[in-house]
Amino acid sequence: MSTVNQRQQDHDALTELDVVSYLQAHPDFFEAHPKLLETLRLPHRTGGPAVSLVEKQVAVLRQGRLKLERQLRDLVEVARSNDELAARIHGLAVELMRRPDTLSAIECVEEQLRLSFKADRSVLVLFDRQSEFDDTRFLRLLDRNDERMAPFKTFIESGSARCGRVRDAQHSFLFGDDDVEIGSVALLPLGNPDGQGMQGFLAIGSRDADHFHPGKSIDFLEKLGELVTCALNQTASAA
C-alpha cells in the first residue's frame, strides 16, 4: 500500500471524537495556529450568517461577564440592605435605652417599626401581663393558654422566628378587619427559646407578599426580637 493511500485510510478512520479528544488534550492548539481560528466558522443559532470561532468565544465571554456583573450587583444590593437594616436596629437600640419604663419602651417599638422599619402593620403580643397595661391596636395582652393562641401553637412551641404568609385564623387575630391588606408576616418570639419560657411575640406585617418569605435570612429579625425582649425585661426590672 502506498504512503498516500495509507494517509487516506488514516484520515477516513479519524472521527469527530478523536478531534474533540485531541483538542481537549491540547488546549493551547489554537495559540500555536492563530490563523486557523479566523477560518473556522460556526452556525448562528438563529439561522443567520455564520460567525467565526473567535467571535463566538468573545460572545461567550461577554455573556459570562454580564452574568458575573449581575451577581456582583445582587451581592452589593444585599450588603447595602444589610447595612441599612443594621443601622435601623442600632437606632432602635439607642431609642430604647432612653425609655424609662416598659410602656414607653412598647410605644418606642411601635413607633420605630412604623417609621424606621416601614412596617405596614405590627402587633406585640405579651403573655400574663394583663394587670400591667391595657390592650391597644399595637399591644395585645392575654394568658399564654388563651384559646386564641391555638393557631400559633406550633410557632410558640418552636420558639423560632418565622416568615411568610399566615393562616386565616392567625391573620384574623393579628389584623382583624384592618383596611391594610397584609401579604406577608414575620413572627418573632420574645423570651426563652421554649414554649413555657416565651414572654410573647412580635408580628410585623407587610403589604408585599414577598417581603417576608421562608427563604429570607432571619438573622436580623432574630436580633430584633432579642433586642425587644431585652428592652422589655430591663424596663420591667427598673420599675
Residue 195: per-residue pLDDT: 44
CA separation for the pair 169, 171 (Å, rounded): 5
Residue 143 in this model has a pLDDT that exceeds 80: yes
Residue 192: per-residue pLDDT: 62
Say how many C-beta atoms besides its own lie within 10 A of residue 216's C-beta: 15
Of residues 56 and 106, more confidently modeled? 106
| Mean pLDDT of the 8-23 span | 73
Residue 20 in this model has a pLDDT that exceeds 90: no
- Residue 219 grid cell: 438573622
Mean pLDDT, rounded, of the chain: 82
List the domain boundaries for the chain.
3-63, 99-238
CA separation for the pair 67, 13 (Å, rounded): 41
User: Out of 12-16, 19-23, 40-44, 66-70, which region has the weakest mean confidence (pLDDT)?
Assistant: 40-44
Beta bridge partner(s), residue 186: 163, 204
Do 200 and 124 touch, CB atoms closer than 8 A? Answer: yes
| Mean pLDDT of the 22-26 span | 86
pLDDT band per the 50, 70, 90 thresholds, residue 73: confident
Which residues, including other chains, have CB under 8 Å from residue 6's CB and lie 6 or more apart? none
Residue 51: per-residue pLDDT: 56
**Residue whose C-alpha is closest to residue 40's, from 56, 23, 53, 58:** 53
- CATH class label, 99-238: alpha beta
pLDDT band per the 50, 70, 90 thresholds, residue 12: low
pLDDT band per the 50, 70, 90 thresholds, residue 26: confident
Of residues 180 and 83, more confidently modeled? 83
Tell me whether strands 121-127 and 139-142 are parallel, antiparallel or unpaired: parallel
Residue 194: per-residue pLDDT: 47
Residue 188: per-residue pLDDT: 94
Beta bridge partner(s), residue 127: 142
Of residues 83 and 121, more confidently modeled? 121
Task: Tell me the per-residue pLDDT of 162-219, one tens digit each, with 9 for 90 and over.
Answer: 999 888 899 999 998 776 789 999 999 998 654 456 899 999 999 998 888 887 778 8
Task: Tell me the per-residue pLDDT of 44-64, one tens digit each, with 9 for 90 and over.
Answer: 555 555 556 667 677 777 888
